[in-house]
């Protein structure tokens, strides 16, 4: 099968859209605006489409009113893009008005751009190669596929062949360029095209991912489940659907696309206070659809309930928001009162902030009386309350909680339900709202029905209280999708740690059961209690020093932050003091080392620690600096900022937060990569705590849990109440990654097995750099060159990059653990091979993005030590240093390869400015390589001659034509009119005269201000070119004039700068 981008990815994408009811238009290369129903390439709305749709959806509109509402949509300010997108989305969802309905006189009637209730009334168009002007330049962007609803561009799709290295990364980079999301000084794309954008799709067919404006590569995720469409219904031939097909059926079926736009799209602020757009992931959409189906059923309210388990970090709070929005658009379900309940203030705050995106006021109960009042009404509003408010207080006698509302039109959504629903509070909720439908949301799995802890059967499980699972999204699924990251567990238990999480007194009873009470008491006095052990200053001092050492070597190089979870408030204060001293000692050591890079020392000096703990009225002075809730908010905001940013105002050195119970649930900070634990955590508490480090972020390959308490000694017991399959992937031991690293390296060696590495010349085999190496067979000059040669094929480079990044990420994950040391040299050498291949083949996709800063630093240092500065681009063939660069290759095979690819790159960079000339050079290069294949000595000699010719550029001219701006047009004209025929002198003279006339006219016309932005001026230029061609009397010019004109226009645009500073006589 040919892995061609167009035939393998783009065309099948469009064919599937057509099967779903989309009209597909294939715009030809060089199409003019009129062919896409526009007046200029600056326009992004297809106005005829929108006019027809507005007229069909709003039959009362007259032509001038249609123009008015189109203008309102088309004139939204374009910057900043996210604000423009918010404004456009608001218009599409909430409609607009005109002064009056002139048919019946109704004032200010609603005008809908999209008919969400009747999808069939809308127009769904997919346009291939939809060209859009880049404002302020003569450039254009041409997305592979753009999807329009009623002429409004909602989705932009970039397709890449799976044969190229990192196709999704390439597609995402292109989409970010199109949407001006790369923070460049000058515009690269068109904000206007993305003003109305719902989402962007990057696809190579085997993998298809979706994100929203501003999304980076880590934000692009697959849509793996086309629910409710069965997999068997996707492919006409019955074959299992690929990633692209699942995404298209899951998101782009017309009715579903409108539903996602209407109910599953929100805007909110991220940790840096920046507004972002969020579109639901497949598991969120699926869960909401299943809940809606239950609510619409005729079942008893109790039977409609159930449990949604979506693992920590996968967006269950937003799932609740999407559910509320969908209910409000349903004619029956919109009558429901929705009650949100949680049991922690930090979760309530988080849920309240998230629920605010539901486009509906959220009424939060501040006390028990307010909660009762809000629940007693039949208003279909959204109420939020803490679980602890479902109780009667006052007096010594326990009073029964009253029935507040018997309505069956109440939906109770309980967050993290496992903690309180089996208690009296849970019974009070059931008493207060006896006929409500209850749905429990949890980020951790449900305990096994007969789970036992401490020899006792656990109370009722969450499913036993609420009903069966409605939807599950497991830990393993989340990691595989990229919604959350793998967590690596590392046990660094100190000798005096509590071994298995039991109180020290219990441990003593086991250890000294044969001793007398007097002897036991003596032991207790000598060794202290469980709490005193964990609070012991000397113990904390040692662990704090180890934490700083681990943080400096593992986490800080990649720019991430940490939490330290301790057993008590006193331990928290002592940990801060000890961590600060350890930091000071580390800084002093670095200052004493003259070889320390200044930037590393400066970064460490900026690192700060702080404590966040709860307080009480009778607190000692030692705790008061750390218990202020307002200060907590400021600390959290500081912690969520990056360590380094271009703008110093947007960075912060607060890198280690010390906590006891706060921030280990409901705290979402992607900047956090490691949690240091010195506290007993089990079951739900353990899973919730460690999930703080699983949030994806740029450059973050995994999260770490470093255990100083000893949880790891009894992980099976700590998680024993859960089914094994439910906690699969919760975290992996660091030691488990060693075989994976070894396997990744083995796969790389197997990949290079075909590169003839065993045929090492005798001189190389005897060299000290090669002799005796068993782990690193690539570590000699001959093998390195052969590997670089092996990567000449683009598909091989794509395969290599995937294998190498997998290996490099594992090494970065495990370093500086000594078990990774044997792989440091191989990762550097293969990184060197990668760099050499990148430079020789001029392949910028061979970058190390996502490999981790520790490994990248190792590779950069090694490459630099080999005489190559990674920051300096490859030497051009026009540079005086090219010969010097060439002489660094010892074999003629390597020299020939370097010259051939350098020439090919030179041709590709200049092709658009003189296409026929450089096409001829390209063909000659191919012929030369074929003619002297394997004869490296002769090939080098011939390439040197050809190289000089390429450097000199065009030398042949006809009839005094300018070689830069006339000969390129002449060659195109001759090629299109005469083909490969040998021309007579008269024919050459006629072609040269016609060329001069056309070029002179083009040079005159394009001097007008903003010429290339004016569609009418370009149309005139096309007409003038055709007129001159028709007057020339060249053979068959009538039939060939359009193709020649198209090529002349494209060439003129590329030569714009040359036209404006050269004078043609």
pLDDT digits (tens, 9 = 90+) for 1033-1058: 899 888 888 888 888 988 988 888 88
**Confidence bin at 627 (pLDDT 50/70/90):** very high
CA torsion sign for 61, 64, 68, 74 is positive
Q: For the segment 55-66, what is each residue's pLDDT rounded down to a tens digit?
A: 999 999 999 999
Q: What is the mean pLDDT of residues 675-697?
A: 83
d(CA 979, CA 851): 50
Q: Cβ neighbours of residue 717 under 8 Å, at least 6 residues apart?
A: 500, 501, 682
Q: What are the tokens at 478?
A: 């989340």
Is the pLDDT at 533 greater than 80? The verdict is no
- Which has more confidence, 345 or 269? 269
Counting Cβ atoms within 10 Å, is residue 134 exposed (0-12), middle (13-18) or buried (19+)? buried
pLDDT for residue 463: 55
pLDDT for residue 768: 38
pLDDT for residue 66: 95
Neighbours of 519 (CB within 10 A): 11
Is the pLDDT at 39 greater than 60? The verdict is yes
**Confidence bin at 357 (pLDDT 50/70/90):** low
Instruction: Please tell me whether residue 749 adopts helix, strand or coil conformation.
Output: helix
Is the pLDDT at 687 greater than 70? The verdict is yes
Q: According to the per-residue pLDDT averaged within each range, which of 11-25, 73-87, 926-940, 1014-1028 is highest?
A: 11-25
Give residue 597's Cα distance to chain centre.
32
**Confidence bin at 723 (pLDDT 50/70/90):** low
pLDDT for residue 775: 43
Measured CA angle at 223 (ends 217, 228), to 5 deg: 165
Is the pLDDT at 657 greater than 60? The verdict is yes
pLDDT for residue 622: 92
Residue closest to 715 by CA, chosen among 735, 674, 679, 686:
686
d(CA 454, CA 503): 13
d(CA 68, CA 872): 54
pLDDT for residue 1008: 85
Residue closest to 670 by CA, chosen among 170, 310, 274, 344:
274
Mean pLDDT of the chain: 83
Name the least confident of 158-172, 400-414, 497-511: 497-511
Q: For the segment 110-129, what is each residue's pLDDT rounded down to a tens digit?
A: 999 999 999 999 999 999 99
Would strands 96-97 and 732-733 be described as parallel, antiparallel, or unpaired?
Answer: unpaired
Q: Cβ neighbours of residue 141 under 8 Å, at least 6 residues apart?
A: 131, 132, 134, 177, 178, 188, 189, 190, 193
Residues in the chain: 1065
* No. of helices (H) and no. of strands (E), the chain: 40, 28
- Supply φ then ψ for residue 341, to 5 degrees: -130, 135
d(CA 322, CA 359): 10
pLDDT for residue 762: 39
Is the pLDDT at 797 greater than 90? The verdict is no
Q: Cβ neighbours of residue 730 under 8 Å, at least 6 residues apart?
A: 475, 487, 687, 690, 719
- Supply φ then ψ for residue 925, to 5 degrees: -60, -45
- Which has more confidence, 351 or 44? 44
pLDDT for residue 774: 38
CB 169 within 8 A of CB 148: no
Q: According to the per-residue pLDDT averaged within each range, which of 523-537, 540-554, 748-762 is highest?
A: 540-554
- Identify any residues that bridge with 677 across adjacent strands, giving them in sequence order: 565, 707
Is the pLDDT at 369 greater than 70? The verdict is yes
Crossing angle of helices 985-1005 and 1015-1032, rounded to 10°: 160
Is the pLDDT at 990 greater than 80? The verdict is yes
Name the least confident of 86-100, 651-665, 818-832: 818-832
- Return the DSSP state at 960: T
pLDDT for residue 19: 95
Whether the bond between 162 and the residue before it is cis, its omega within 30 degrees of 0, is no
Neighbours of 461 (CB within 10 A): 19
Measured CA angle at 164 (ends 932, 785), to 5 deg: 45
Q: What is the mean pLDDT of residues 954-963?
A: 83
Is the pLDDT at 24 greater than 50? The verdict is yes
- Which has more confidence, 272 or 77? 77
Q: What is the mean pLDDT of residues 568-573?
A: 93
Q: What are the tokens at 205?
A: 């067919």
Residue closest to 1058 by CA, chosen among 963, 974, 991:
963
CA torsion sign for 645, 650, 651, 656 is negative
């Amino acid at each position: 099968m040919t892995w061609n981008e167009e035939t393998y990815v783009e065309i099948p994408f469009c064919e599937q859209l057509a099967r779903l009811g989309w009209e597909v238009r294939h715009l030809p290369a060089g199409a003019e605006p009129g062919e896409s129903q526009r007046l200029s390439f600056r326009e992004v709305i297809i106005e005829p489409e929108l006019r027809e749709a507005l007229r069909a959806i709003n039959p009362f509109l007259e032509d001038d009113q249609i123009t008015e509402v189109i203008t309102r949509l088309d004139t939204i300010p374009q910057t900043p893009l996210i604000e423009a997108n918010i404004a456009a989305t608001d218009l599409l969802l909430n409609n607009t008005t005109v002064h009056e309905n002139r048919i019946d006189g109704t004032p200010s009637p609603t005008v809908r751009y999209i008919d969400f209730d009747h999808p069939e009334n809308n127009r769904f168009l997919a346009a291939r190669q939809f060209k859009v002007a880049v404002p302020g330049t003569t450039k254009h962007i041409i997305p592979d596929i753009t999807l329009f609803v009623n002429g409004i561009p909602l989705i932009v799709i970039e397709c890449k062949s799976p044969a190229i290295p990192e196709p999704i990364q390439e597609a995402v980079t292109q989409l970010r360029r199109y949407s001006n999301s790369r923070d460049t000084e000058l515009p690269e794309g068109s904000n206007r095209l993305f003003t109305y954008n719902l989402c962007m799709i990057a696809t190579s067919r085997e993998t298809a991912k979706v994100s929203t404006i501003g999304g980076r590569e880590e934000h692009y995720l697959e849509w793996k489940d086309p629910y409710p469409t069965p997999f068997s219904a996707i492919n006409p031939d019955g074959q299992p659907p690929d990633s692209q097909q699942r995404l298209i059926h899951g998101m782009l079926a017309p009715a579903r696309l409108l539903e996602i736009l209407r109910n599953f799209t929100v805007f909110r602020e991220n940790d840096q206070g920046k507004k972002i757009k969020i579109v639901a992931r497949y598991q969120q959409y699926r869960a909401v659809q299943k809940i809606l189906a239950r609510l619409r059923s005729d079942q008893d309210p109790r039977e409609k309930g159930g449990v949604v388990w979506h693992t920590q970090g996968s967006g269950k709070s937003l799932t609740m928001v999407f559910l509320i929005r969908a209910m409000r658009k349903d004619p029956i379900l919109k009558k429901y009162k929705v009650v949100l309940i949680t049991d922690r203030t930090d979760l309530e705050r988080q849920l309240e902030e998230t629920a605010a995106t539901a486009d509906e006021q959220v009424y939060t109960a501040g006390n028990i009386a307010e909660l009762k009042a809000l629940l007693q009404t039949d208003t279909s509003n959204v109420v939020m309350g803490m679980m602890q408010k479902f109780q009667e207080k006052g007096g010594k006698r326990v009073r029964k909680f009253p029935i507040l509302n018997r309505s069956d039109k109440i939906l109770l959504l309980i967050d993290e339900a496992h903690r309180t629903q089996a208690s009296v509070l849970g019974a009070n909720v059931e008493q207060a709202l006896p006929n409500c439908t209850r749905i429990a949301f949890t980020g951790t799995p449900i305990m096994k029905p007969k789970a036992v802890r401490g020899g006792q059967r656990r109370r009722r499980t969450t499913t036993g209280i609420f009903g069966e699972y409605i939807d599950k999204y497991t830990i393993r699924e989340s990691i595989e999708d990229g919604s959350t990251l793998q967590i690596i567990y590392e046990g660094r238990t100190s000798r005096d740690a509590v071994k298995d999480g039991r109180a020290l007194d219990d441990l003593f009873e086991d250890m000294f059961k044969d001793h007398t009470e007097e002897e036991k008491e003596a032991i207790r006095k000598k060794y202290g209690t469980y709490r005193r052990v964990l609070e012991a200053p000397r113990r904390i001092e040692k662990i704090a020093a180890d934490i700083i050492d681990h943080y400096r070597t593992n986490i800080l190089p990649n720019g991430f932050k940490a939490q330290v979870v301790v057993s008590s408030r006193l331990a928290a204060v002592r940990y801060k003091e000890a961590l600060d001293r350890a930091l000071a000692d580390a800084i002093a050591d670095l200052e004493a080392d003259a070889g320390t890079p200044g930037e590393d020392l400066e970064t460490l000096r900026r690192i700060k620690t702080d404590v966040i703990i709860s307080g009480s009225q009778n607190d000692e002075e030692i705790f008061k600096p750390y218990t202020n809730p307002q200060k907590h908010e400021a600390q959290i905001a500081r912690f969520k900022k990056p360590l380094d940013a271009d703008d110093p105002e947007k960075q912060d050195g607060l890198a280690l937060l010390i906590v006891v119970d706060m921030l280990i649930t409901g705290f979402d900070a992607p900047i956090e990569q490691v949690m240091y634990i010195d506290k007993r955590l089990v079951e739900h508490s353990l899973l919730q705590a460690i999930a703080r480090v699983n949030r994806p972020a740029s450059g973050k390959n995994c999260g770490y849990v470093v255990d100083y308490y000893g949880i790891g000694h009894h992980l099976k017991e700590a998680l024993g109440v859960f089914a094994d399959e439910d906690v699969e992937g919760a975290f992996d031991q660091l030691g488990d990654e060693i075989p994976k690293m070894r396997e990744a390296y083995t796969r790389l060696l197997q990949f290079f097995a075909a590169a003839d590495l065993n045929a090492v010349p005798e001189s190389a085999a005897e060299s000290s750099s090669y002799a005796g190496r068993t782990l690193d067979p690539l570590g000699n000059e001959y093998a390195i060159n052969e590997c670089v040669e092996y990567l000449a094929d683009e598909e091989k480079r794509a395969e290599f990059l995937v294998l190498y990044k997998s290996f490099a990420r594992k090494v970065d994950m495990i370093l500086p653990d000594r078990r990774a040391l044997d792989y440091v040299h191989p990762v550097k050498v293969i990184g060197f091979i990668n760099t050499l291949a990148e430079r020789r083949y001029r392949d910028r996709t061979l970058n190390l993005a996502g490999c981790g800063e520790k490994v990248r630093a190792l590779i950069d240092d090694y490459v630099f030590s080999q005489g190559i500065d990674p920051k300096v681009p490859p030497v051009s063939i026009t540079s005086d240093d090219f010969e010097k660069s060439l002489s660094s290759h010892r074999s003629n095979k390597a020299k020939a390869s370097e010259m051939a690819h350098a020439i090919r790159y030179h041709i590709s960079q200049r092709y658009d400015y003189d296409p026929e000339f450089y096409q001829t050079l390209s063909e000659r290069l191919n012929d030369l390589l074929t003619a002297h294949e394997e004869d490296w000595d002769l090939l080098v000699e011939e390439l040197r001659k050809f190289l000089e010719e390429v450097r000199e550029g065009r030398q042949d001219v006809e009839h005094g034509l300018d070689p830069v701006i006339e000969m390129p047009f002449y060659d195109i004209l001759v090629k299109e009119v005469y083909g490969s025929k040998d021309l007579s002198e008269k024919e050459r003279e006629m072609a040269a005269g016609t060329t001069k006339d056309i070029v002179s006219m083009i040079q005159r016309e394009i001097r007008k201000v903003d010429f290339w932005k004016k569609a009418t001026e370009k149309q005139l230029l096309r007409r003038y070119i055709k007129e001159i061609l028709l007057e020339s009397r060249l053979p068959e010019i009538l039939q060939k004039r359009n193709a020649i004109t198209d090529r002349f226009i494209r060439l003129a645009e590329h030569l714009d700068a040359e036209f404006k500073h050269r004078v043609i006589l």
